[in-house]
Amino acid sequence: MTKLIPVLFDLDGVIVDNVAFENAVTRTIIQQLAVDRNLPMLDAERLWKRTLEAHRRHARWHDYSYHCQALNLGNSWREAHTSCGHLLKRCLGADDAIAAAREIGPLWLVSDATHWVAAFKLALVQIDQDVFSEIFTVDRCSTNKGQVQYWQCVKEVMSRGPYATPIYIDNRKDRLCVAHEVFSEMNGICVDADDHPVSLGFGDQDSQAIFVHSTHESLHPPVA
Asked if 86 and 67 count as a contact pair (C-beta separation under 8 A), the reply is no
Residue 160 has pLDDT above 50, yes or no: yes
Does an H or E element contain 187, and which?
Answer: strand 187-190
Task: Please classify residue 21 by burial: count the beta carbons closer than 10 Å to its beta carbon, then call 0-12 exposed, 13-18 middle and 19+ buried.
Answer: buried
* Beta strand ranges found along 120-173 (DSSP E): 134-136, 167-170
Confidence of residue 208 (pLDDT cuts 50, 70, 90): very low
Give the angle subtended at the CA of 33 by the CAs of 145 and 53, to the nearest 5°: 35
Specify the fold of 7-18+89-218.
Rossmann fold (3.40.50)
β-pairing, 16-17 vs 89-90, is antiparallel
Spatial distance between the Cα atoms of 138 and 36, rounded to a whole number of angstroms: 29
Does an H or E element contain 24, and which?
Answer: helix 19-37
Q: What is the largest CA-CA distance in the chain?
A: 64
Residue 145 has pLDDT above 70, yes or no: yes
Spatial distance between the Cα atoms of 204 and 81, rounded to a whole number of angstroms: 21
Q: Give residue-wise pLDDT tens across range 41-87.
A: 999 999 999 999 999 888 888 899 999 999 999 999 999 999 999 99
Confidence of residue 2 (pLDDT cuts 50, 70, 90): confident
Asked if 189 and 214 count as a contact pair (C-beta separation under 8 A), the reply is yes
pTM (two decimals): 0.86
Distances (CA, A) of 195 to 4, 92, 185, 224: 30, 13, 26, 35
Task: Please classify residue 77 by burial: count the beta carbons closer than 10 Å to its beta carbon, then call 0-12 exposed, 13-18 middle and 19+ buried.
Answer: buried
Confidence of residue 199 (pLDDT cuts 50, 70, 90): low
